[in-house]
Amino acid sequence: MSEILDPEKREKRKGRGFSRRGFMQGIGVTGAVAPALLPEQAQAQTPPGVMGPGPVAITLNINGKPMKATVEPRETLLDTLRNQLDITGAKRVCDRGTCGACSVLVNGKVSYACSILAIDAQGKQITTIEGFAMSGGKPHAVVQAFVNNDAQQCGYCTPGFVVASKAFLDHNPNPTYEQVKDGLGGNLCRCGTYVGVRKAVLEAAKMMKGGSNA
Amino acid sequence: MPNYSWPPMASRKVMGQRLSRTDGIEKASGRAKYNSDLNKPGMLHAVLLTSPYAHAKVKSIDTSAAEKHTGVAAVRVIAPAGTEIQWAGWEVAVVAANTELAARDAVKKIKIEYDMLPHVVVENDLKKVKTRAKPAGEQLEGDPDQAFKEADVTLEGNYGIPTLTHCCLEPHGQVIGWGADGKVEFNPSTQSVTSIRGDLARLLNIPATDIHVHQDHIGGGFGSKFQPDRWGIEAAQLSKAAGGKPVKLFLDRATELMIAGCRPSGFLNVKLGAKKDGTLTAWQSESWASGGIGGGGSPPIPYVFTKVPNRRQNHTAVSLNTAPIRAWRAPNHQQASYLTCAPLEDLAAKLKMDPLELFLKNANLTQREDTYVRQLKKAAELSDWKKLWHPRGDSGKGPIKRGLGIGVNTWGGAGHDSTARTTIHPDGTVEVELGSQDLGTGTRTIIAQVAAETLGLRVPDIRVKIGDTNYPPSGTSGGSTTVGGVTSSTRKATVNALDKLLAEVAGGLGAPADQLEAVDGKIQVKGNAAKSLTWKAACQKLGVKTVSETGSNVPREAAKEGLNTGGVGGVQIADVSVDVETGVVKMNKLVAVQDIGLVVNPKTAESQVFGACIMSICGALMEERIMDELTGRMLNADMEFYKLAGIKDIGEIVVHFEIDELNDKRGVIGLGEPPAIGGIAAISNAVANAIGTRVPTVPMTPMNVLDTLSGRKS
């Protein structure tokens, strides 16, 4: 059972500090639990333009295309991508902003899709790995470098790493080895592919400068 | 009888090459579909309700409100009234609904009353577990009492290594449909595509032939994904109850960490006896471990140095109200390596001896003396041991203390039962099919390399098809048995298929089939490239026929055939820096010298060792399942507090293989397990060498290190 579903655990969690995600999901759950704010109060206080609490039709700009979905306000961008739009490169692993397996770009910035509500993603440019990994049948430099350096094993964390690496290189085209280690600190791998990832990011930086895939 | 033996090392063109994995682009581009990625038409989402209590009896359970919840298609009670819950996270009920959110909401409407029962979830103090302890009986070898009397030096110590969870990034689960026609379409996340079908058939009481299993990729297993599990059975039943709609049920992260696999703990009180020169003469130990309610977890100690002449050992299994253990990458070996190498290093410190010398001195107590002596020396060279090692306690100024330490490993790794089918089509296409799976080790790639080598082709010419029960049966991917199994079966199937093809074209080339060979994309008369057909032209001679042959790895025959064997040793040396003001241990370097047989792909083989070393770093410094004595629950069932190493935490990793003719002749040997064994011991020993005292338990978190330094017991 998820911690969010368990009132006792959530009580304990409150003591540990505020959780945006737990709070948001608590708001959406009526009746069964005692959220910090009752839904009625939340509604009474909500300014015009706020959506919900029932399912709402939204349009998201994903990989340059408008895509329609009907979501509950508590639904994450990650679950909308995976469950409704069948865009599954971003993975659900920790589901609370720790591991980076769900990394996507929001307005060019690498973000955890598990920690963004779908309704909050409206009007933003969302780029998933599907949006840049292959173009004209050719892999992006980061993808190719991950393959060349065997920077993946089971591969479940890999799309998140590739997205984070691309965003990192977009902002740091000439990284040092030390910068790569800092820049990719927001992603976790269980198989232990970090040695390959370090080399891959450095190689991709070179390839991108060479114009092979910018 | 065809000759299946591997082509000589020097003449291989595809095997032994550092090739990139064939499914690399698919995975790195996010296009690879894991079964947890599947969205099928009409698919329902299922959510489990699990017990918050570690030990309780279900008094009543009422699912009526959940059944009425909008979107709910089926509800099942797993633990009816009267069920005795034995661990927190025990599956109690399950709901399938048209959306995941609806299923989650419905689960909250299930009302359960429990009668609480007393629980035990912590075992670091054997006296406290009382009736939960089950002594296994004394093992005695030689005369330890006399040996301790005669020993020049004795050492006593206490050590502990905690329970870890597998924490697979793709959680356990499946998409499953059980149609009205009785057919089951099963898409699990599994390490055993072939055997999971039979296991599910038995559990659902239906013929195995009514079940079809398919899996393209698996997001991590590490020994925890062999069985259909309770959630597999329940998802099947939900599907049936919902008229055959496919049901998706993958565990959420907390449940994954609580119940989907863990490694047993290990605790040790030990006394060693030795001569002045470091020769071990006696071992006396009291050890205990828990693997959950059934006890379990008995580390083979003394590890590697098995021939200590005088031994008295008492092991106790402790039953806890925690979820059961599952096989963990080298079951019991990490614990055993740590619980042996740490006291050995402490003994060396007491003798004021270089531990490298002590390990070398006692290499004759191992099963492979020459290997360990060679490896210890090589690892010492690669870690700059002579220059960097110092007697215990870095005497340098400042808070950063540096140290080096050693750990050892051993493993089997011979190939499992496996059958492959190689099909050659008239257009030259080659398919190799096996009911196997690629855990991320590069199984697809090495199968293609073996087939290409055998047929004189290149890797892109081979279509490898795995992960489906329509293909010939292949073994479970556990125990580092896959590479030996699938390479051998692929070799045999492909030799058999090639022989058939050669028989078809022999007439046209004017030579008997046994005088033909497949090299460089041609079929030619041996040694005579002038008398040849291109591969395509040769295959065209098949007309409308295809050649399709199977071949099997039979474990008891494999060594005779020279295709695969088992039995390796390895040595790891860690180089760490410890900040004695903050307690933070930083990895400088981890050297892994690994015994190995025939290497099919050095690139993916190296990745296995890198990963194993990183997993050891996690285990040595970060990972630990923390149970709350009061509530009986796991306190860190998430990835913030169940810590894994990040890209910055691992230092430099140096891998050394002994790839040579002599090792090559041993055939293929599995590599996933052995390098994951010795790292924890090496890192613990390095920390002791740095700070001058033993941190007696892992993980060596900052708190644990500071507690040790200040004389507190953590």
Residue boundaries of the structural domains of chain B: 9-32+414-558, 35-117+172-250, 262-413+566-709
Bridge-based pairing state of the strands B568-579 and B528-534:
unpaired
Count Cβ atoms below 10 Å from residue B154 Cβ, excluding itself. 17
Count Cβ atoms below 10 Å from residue B560 Cβ, excluding itself. 8
DSSP B552-589: EE-HHHHHHHTSB---EEEEEEEEEEEETTT--EEEEE
Cα distances from A22 to residues A17, A36, A115, B137, in angstroms, run 11, 10, 10, 50
Region(s) of chain A under CATH 1.10.150.120: 134-209
Helix (H/G/I), strand (E/B), else coil: B603: helix
pLDDT value of position A8:
53
Protein fold of A56-128? Ubiquitin-like (UB roll) (3.10.20)
Distance (Å, rounded) from C-alpha B107 to C-alpha B69? 9
Helix (H/G/I), strand (E/B), else coil: B616: helix
Residue B13 DSSP code: S
Of B315, B273, B303, which Cα lies nearest the Cα of B138?
B315
Distance (Å, rounded) from C-alpha B490 to C-alpha B418? 9
pLDDT value of position A211:
61
Interface of B with A in 668-697 (CB under 8 A): none
Instruction: Give the residue on A whose Cα is nearest the Cα of B645.
Output: A188
Q: Write down how long chain A is.
A: 214
Distance (Å, rounded) from C-alpha B666 to C-alpha B670? 12
AA identity, residue B391 = P
pLDDT value of position A26:
43
Cα distances from B1 to residues A121, B93, B191, B519, in angstroms, run 66, 57, 33, 21
Distance (Å, rounded) from C-alpha B128 to C-alpha B316? 13
The low-confidence residues of chain B, meaning pLDDT below 50, are none
> Cβ contacts (< 8 Å) between A96 and chain B: which residues?
253, 638-640
Class of domain B35-117+172-250: alpha beta
Indicate if B262-413+566-709 has the same CATH topology as B9-32+414-558: yes
Contact B585, B643 (CB under 8 A): no
> Cβ contacts (< 8 Å) between B219 and chain A: which residues?
91, 154-156
Question: Which structure tokens are listed for B633?
Answer: 């629950």
pLDDT value of position A22:
47
In chain B, DSSP finds a helix count (H) and a strand count (E) of 20, 28
Average pLDDT, chain B: 97
Contact yes or no for A5 and B104 at CB 8 A: yes
pLDDT value of position A33:
40
Of A205, A192, A193, A195, which Cα lies nearest the Cα of A165?
A205
Residue B295 DSSP code: -
Angle at the Cα of B682 from the Cα atoms of B680 and B685, rounded to 5 degrees: 105
Q: Which residues neighbour A136 within 8 Å (Cβ) at sequence distance 6 or greater? A: none
- Burial (CB < 10 A; 0-12, 13-18, 19+), residue B584, is middle
Contact yes or no for B108 and A2 at CB 8 A: no
Tell me the β-bridge partners of B58. B114
Distance (Å, rounded) from C-alpha B165 to C-alpha B625? 7
Contact B354, B389 (CB under 8 A): yes
Question: Which structure tokens are listed for B103?
Answer: 């299923």
AA identity, residue B2 = P
Tell me the β-bridge partners of B186. B176, B213
Q: Which residues neighbour B261 within 8 Å (Cβ) at sequence distance 6 or greater? A: B165, B166, B168, B172, B222, B223, B224, B225, B325, B326, B328
B429 touches chain A (CB under 8 A): no
Instruction: Give the residue on B whose Cα is nearest the Cα of A137.
Output: B25
Which conformational region is residue B602 in: left (phi greater than 0), alpha (psi within -120 to 50 degrees), or beta? Answer: alpha
> Cβ contacts (< 8 Å) between B27 and chain A: which residues?
152, 155, 158
Nearest Cβ partner of B640 from A98, A162, A185?
Answer: A98
Distance (Å, rounded) from C-alpha B316 to C-alpha B294? 12
Distance (Å, rounded) from C-alpha B290 to C-alpha B366? 27
ipTM of the complex: 0.97
Distance (Å, rounded) from C-alpha B297 to C-alpha B31? 39
The low-confidence residues of chain A, meaning pLDDT below 50, are 1-5, 7, 10, 13-37, 39, 213-214
Distance (Å, rounded) from C-alpha B684 to C-alpha B328? 20
- Burial (CB < 10 A; 0-12, 13-18, 19+), residue B296, is middle
Contact B268, B160 (CB under 8 A): yes
Compute the CA torsion angle A172, A178, A181, A186 (nearest 10 deg).
-60
Tell me the β-bridge partners of B551. B420
H helical segments located in A66-193? 77-79, 141-148, 158-171, 177-183
Nearest Cβ partner of A96 from B171, B638, B648?
Answer: B638
Instruction: Give the residue on A whose Cα is nearest the Cα of B437.
Output: A154
Contact yes or no for B30 and A129 at CB 8 A: yes
Helix (H/G/I), strand (E/B), else coil: A196: helix
Region(s) of chain A under CATH 3.10.20.30: 56-128
Question: Which structure tokens are listed for B395?
Answer: 């005497």
pLDDT value of position B497:
98
Bridge-based pairing state of the strands A134-135 and A109-112:
unpaired
Contact yes or no for A133 and B169 at CB 8 A: no
B394 touches chain A (CB under 8 A): no
- Residue B112 parent element (H or E): strand B111-116
Contact yes or no for A82 and B614 at CB 8 A: no
Cα distances from B125 to residues B64, B158, B266, B709, in angstroms, run 44, 11, 12, 21
> Is the domain covering A134-209 a CATH 1.10.150.120 domain?
yes
Tell me the β-bridge partners of B224. none
State the number of CA atoms in the 13 A half-sphere of A37 facing the CB: 14
Nearest Cβ partner of A191 from B33, B37, B440?
Answer: B440
Interface probe for B, chosen from A154, A179, A203, A213 (most Cβ of B below 10 Å), is A154
Distance (Å, rounded) from C-alpha B659 to C-alpha A152? 23
> Cβ contacts (< 8 Å) between A5 and chain B: which residues?
104, 107-108
Tell me the β-bridge partners of A68. A59
Protein fold of B262-413+566-709? Aldehyde Oxidoreductase; domain 4 (3.30.365)
Backbone CA torsion sign across A85, A90, A94, A96? negative
Q: Which residues neighbour A44 within 8 Å (Cβ) at sequence distance 6 or greater? A: none
B108 touches chain A (CB under 8 A): yes
Architecture of domain B9-32+414-558: 2-Layer Sandwich (3.30)
pLDDT value of position A44:
52
Compute the CA torsion angle A116, A120, A124, A129 (nearest 10 deg).
30
AA identity, residue B409 = N
In chain A, DSSP finds a helix count (H) and a strand count (E) of 8, 7
H helical segments located in B635-698? 661-664, 679-691
Cα distances from B58 to residues B50, B116, B321, B631, in angstroms, run 12, 9, 16, 17
Helix (H/G/I), strand (E/B), else coil: B28: helix
> Cβ contacts (< 8 Å) between A192 and chain B: which residues?
610-615, 645, 650
Distance (Å, rounded) from C-alpha B164 to C-alpha B572? 21
Distance (Å, rounded) from C-alpha B472 to C-alpha A154? 23
Distance (Å, rounded) from C-alpha B605 to C-alpha B445? 11
Distance (Å, rounded) from C-alpha B658 to C-alpha B598? 10
